[in-house]
Structure 1
C-alpha cells in the first residue's frame, strides 16, 4: 500500500523504516550525522512550502514531511485496516 506524506510525495508503506518527530533532530547527534551524510549523497527530500513536522526514513531516501508523526501513523494504520477488509463487492456474471 501507499502513504501520502505531504508535498505531493507518496511512498510505499513497506519501505518505511521509521517516522520520527522533527523536533528530535537538534537533540540527537546521531540523527544530525545521518542527515548530513544522506544530504551529501543527495538522498534527502526537504519540504518545499511548509515547515517540517516529521522525518520519514525509508530504505533509500529520507523525506521531511509537513505532516505530524500522529497524522502519518493514522494514515499508515488506515492502510493496514483497509488491507484486512474482505471484498464484499458483488461479482457480475456475464
Structure 2
C-alpha cells in the first residue's frame, strides 16, 4: 500500500520507518538530523520553505512534508 505525502509524492508504506512532527519548536537534535540529511543529499523537501509540518523517515530517504504527522498517521492506518 502507498501513502501520499503531499505535492504528488507517494511512497510505499513498507518503506516508512517513522513519521515525526516538526512543527515549531523543533528540537536541536532533530534539526541536526535534517541538516545532516541535507548535506548527504538524502533529504527530499516536498513543501515550501517554512511550511514543513512533518518528517517522514524511510529506508533510504527523509521527506519534509507539508502534511501534519497526524494526517499522515491516519492515511497510513487506512491503508
Same fold (TM over 0.5): yes
Q: What is aligned with 1:75? A: 75
Q: Secondary structure at 2:20's aligned position in 1? A: strand
Q: Say if 2:35 is the partner of 1:23.
A: no
Q: Say if 2:63 is the partner of 1:57.
A: no
Mind listing any 5+ residue stretches in structure 1 that lack a counterpart? 80-94
Q: Secondary structure at 2:23's aligned position in 1? A: helix
Q: Shift in Å at residue 2 of structure 1?
A: 0.7
Assess if the C-alpha contact under 8 Å between 1:25 and 1:31 holds in 2: no
Higher relative helix content: 1
Let me know the Cα RMSD of the aligned residues. Answer: 1.7
Q: Secondary structure at 1:32's aligned position in 2? A: helix
Q: How many residues align?
A: 78
Mind listing any 5+ residue stretches in structure 2 that lack a counterpart? none
Q: Say if 2:14 is the partner of 1:36.
A: no
Assess if the C-alpha contact under 8 Å between 2:9 and 2:46 holds in 1: no
Higher relative strand content: 2
Q: Shift in Å at residue 48 of structure 1?
A: 3.9
Q: Shift in Å at residue 16 of structure 1?
A: 0.5
TM-score (norm 1): 0.73
